[in-house]
Structure 1
Amino acid sequence: MKASAIAYRPVGLALGAFSGMIASTAFKQTWKLIEGEGDAPDATDEDRPWRQILIAAAVQGAIFAVVKATVERSGAQATRRLTGTWPG
């Protein structure tokens, strides 16, 4: 394993936690726009219909994937600018 990949690992973990916080906030705001409700449904919410639960899961997954990819790619580019190598 390259030294740059080893050095990037703690940075990657921190970026992952940061992206999770951003994605969570973005999903909550997006859900308010979609449904006008404060809380998104959980899979175990008995009083919520299947359609609502599956839409919420799909939207949440898409937001998390886009935010994660954006933050990870930005972190890798910043690492290359600082060190001259791509963390991989």
Structure 2
Amino acid sequence: MPGPERSNSSTSAKVLYQPVGLVSSVVAGVVAGQVFKQIWKHAAPGDQEDAPKALESEYSLREVVLAAAVQGAIFAVVKALVSRGGARAFERWTGEWPGD
């Protein structure tokens, strides 16, 4: 379902948005990491506080892949939410949509 019609953004809007986009990406990464840690702590079996890493031999491949998939999904959702929010705020401040 397409969103509201937006005019193509100008080159200057894209250039001005780059620092905002960079900061929002860093914020999204930090937030996603914290969200994942909390979810993993509550959802993991036993007393695992940290997710298994690929090179930790005490975990099965299934556990490592599951942890990576959950972490990736959380990161993608948080990044999309933060990026979209940053773009909407930029549009409110400048009147121009930074993407497209």
TM-score band, normalised by the shorter chain? over 0.9
What RMSD over aligned residues (CA atoms) do the two structures have, in Å? 1.0
**What residue in structure 1 maps to residue 95 of structure 2?**
84
Structure 1: state its 5+ residue gaps.
none
**What TM-score does the superposition give when structure 2 sets the normalisation length?**
0.85
**2:60 paired with 1:41:** no
Residues 1-88 of structure 1: pairs in structure 2 closer than 5 A: 2-35=11-44, 36-88=47-99
**What residue in structure 1 maps to residue 3 of structure 2?**
none
Bigger Rg, which one: 2
> Residue 42 of structure 1: CA displacement?
0.5
The CA distance in 2 between the partners of 1:5 and 1:55, in whole Å, is 37
State the Cα deviation string for residues 9-57 of structure 1 (Å, max 9, x = none). Answer: 0110000000000000000001111114111010111110111101101
- What amino acid does structure 2 have at the position aligned with 1:77? R
The CA distance in 1 between the partners of 2:14 and 2:68, in whole Å, is 32
The CA distance in 1 between the partners of 2:81 and 2:72, in whole Å, is 14
- What amino acid does structure 1 have at the position aligned with 2:71? Q
**What TM-score does the superposition give when structure 1 sets the normalisation length?**
0.96
Runs of 4+ displaced beyond 3 Å = none
